[in-house]
Structure formats: structure tokens, C-alpha cells
Amino acid sequence: QVQLVESGGGVVQPGRSLTLSCVASGFTFSNYGMQWVRQAPGKGLEGVAVIWHDGGKKYYADSVKGRFTISRDDSENTLYLQMNTLRAEDTAVYYCVRDDGAVVPVFDYWGQGTVVTVSA
């Protein structure tokens, strides 16, 4: 069965860096686009970063552009999110999401989430 397991969250000071990982299993990872979606405490959902199945295209929300980098290692079935210059407003649960869409995103599987807290 499809599984997405995130890790790497934690408490970090403003201005510091953190890298999230998402290990995928139960499907051919290289065939799928992947996304990171976050949920700030008590808030709604926000798409943060997208990577196409071949890694050839990437997209970032304006709120993280220039600070976050999405990448993938298909040999390890792993998705990454490198987060630099973290701010208090980056505090959220970060979900790794499989995108099964051909035309538009189809969020069919979500990981359990990893919590990032940015605080002095």
C-alpha cells in the first residue's frame, strides 16, 4: 500500500535551516509529481512547493520563494524540502503529498505530517 513517511521536523530558531524528508513506498515514486503542503496552527492548508515527476520543473509559493528548495532522489524514493532562513510564520505541520494528476494536481495520498516550530 502507498505510504509517505515524513521526518526532519523540530524546533529551530529564526534564521536557521532545516531539511525535511519524505520516504515513499508502495508505488513507483519516479512516476509521480510530489508536493509539500503545510498547515499552520489553527489555520488552513497552503501549497508550499511542487516538483514534477522528472524533477524538471519546480514551483514555490511566494511566501517561501528564495528560501525553500524542493528536490527528489528517485533512487532512494525520497522527497526533500530544504528550508533556509526560517521565520516564525513557517511554523506548521508539513505534509508530503503524492500528486496523481496529469492536467491539474490530484492529492490522493498524504503523509502523517512533520511539525516544524520556529521560535527563539
In the complex with other proteins, the residue whose CB is nearer, 16 or 58, is 58
- Distance (Å, rounded) from C-alpha 92 to C-alpha 118? 9
- Distance (Å, rounded) from C-alpha 29 to C-alpha 46? 23
Cα dihedral 3, 22, 92, 101 sign: negative
Choice from 13, 66, 103, 120 touching other proteins (CB under 8 A): 103
Choice from 5, 12, 23, 45 touching other proteins (CB under 8 A): 45
What residues numbered 54-93 form the site for other proteins, per CB under 8 A?
A: 59, 61
111 binds other proteins (CB under 8 A): yes
In the complex with other proteins, the residue whose CB is nearer, 16 or 57, is 57
107 binds other proteins (CB under 8 A): yes
Size of the site for other proteins (CB under 8 A): 20
Per-position b or e across 3-25, b if 16+ CB within 10 A of its CB? ebebebbeebeeeeebebbbbbe
We find the least distance from the C-beta atom of residue 74 to other proteins, in angstroms, to be 22
Q: What are phi and psi of 97, to 5 degrees?
A: -130, 130
